Amino acid sequence: MLKVEQLKIAYENFRIDVENALFSEGLNIILGPNGGGKSSFMSGVIGYDQLDIELREIYWNNQPLGRVHNIISYLPQENPRFKITVADYLVMTTGNVSTDAYSTAVEHFNIAQLTGRSIEALSGGEFKRVQCAQVSLENKPVIMIDEMEQGLDLKYQHEMMKWVKGEGGHRTVIASMHDAALALTYADTITLVKGGRITGPMPPGAVTPEMLSACYGLPLEIESRAGSTLVYHRQL
């Protein structure tokens, strides 16, 4: 279990103020408007932006978590790209993984045809799949992904959501998203973030239209249909 006992970050015109947030095994999704604090919260858990962090008390399985590199695989919104092949990138970023593990990841994320190409030449969605393969190969107990569905088409949005849902069976997965319907369909827990404060984590069924509307500042409805969740604007 990852526990955010206290996280206080002071930027010039914005604050993050979170207390007692518990993230267990499963797919834990963070939703909220642009500028609401999703990315700042995640980078604060990692320990980035040290100069802006006023207070950071994070625990993993009841032990204080200072350095996170052995515990958390973190995939930010943007990663720098280098003139290096996909195959070399995976080896460089994941260390000594077995040939079988490497082959399984390449096949699972459908990137075999990309391994000889330069990272710089990939589309956003292709690079996201390569990065997810990287995270899979790192095999750490916590996965954090900022803007999970960014750059992915409809097919790969669902493929990646199925992957993180499966990973949540034996890891703690925390992912921020913009697609509320997709999040509510797949998540084990939902956390709403607005103005640097959070509500949750809570089961998806506990998220009401009123809560979602208040979070986004837009009148929204939530419906369940054939195992999926729909979120739509009331006035459309």
Contacts of 160 (CB under 8 A, 6+ apart): 128, 129, 132, 148, 149, 152
Give the HSE-up count for residue 153: Cα atoms under 13 Å, Cβ half-sphere: 3
Within this chain, do residues 110 and 146 fall inside the same structural domain, yes or no?
A: no
- Residue 181 within a domain: yes
Q: Which two tokens stand for residue 204?
A: 């998806």
Within this chain, do residues 52 and 31 fall inside the same structural domain, yes or no?
A: yes
Please count the other Cβ atoms lying within 10 Å of the Cβ belonging to residue 138: 16
- Residue 124 within a domain: yes
Domain that holds residue 24: 1-71+140-205
Per-residue pLDDT of the chain (236 residues; tens, 9 = 90+): 999 999 999 998 999 999 999 999 999 999 999 999 999 999 999 998 778 999 999 999 999 998 899 999 999 988 888 899 999 999 998 888 899 999 999 999 999 999 999 999 999 999 999 999 999 999 999 999 999 999 899 999 999 999 999 999 999 999 999 999 999 999 999 999 999 999 999 999 999 999 999 999 999 999 999 889 999 998 76
Residues paired with 29 in a beta bridge: 175, 190
Which residue has tokens 């958390």? 72
Cis peptide preceding 33, ω within 30 of 0: no
Within this chain, do residues 119 and 146 fall inside the same structural domain, yes or no?
A: no
Give the HSE-up count for residue 157: Cα atoms under 13 Å, Cβ half-sphere: 16
Model pTM above 0.75 = yes
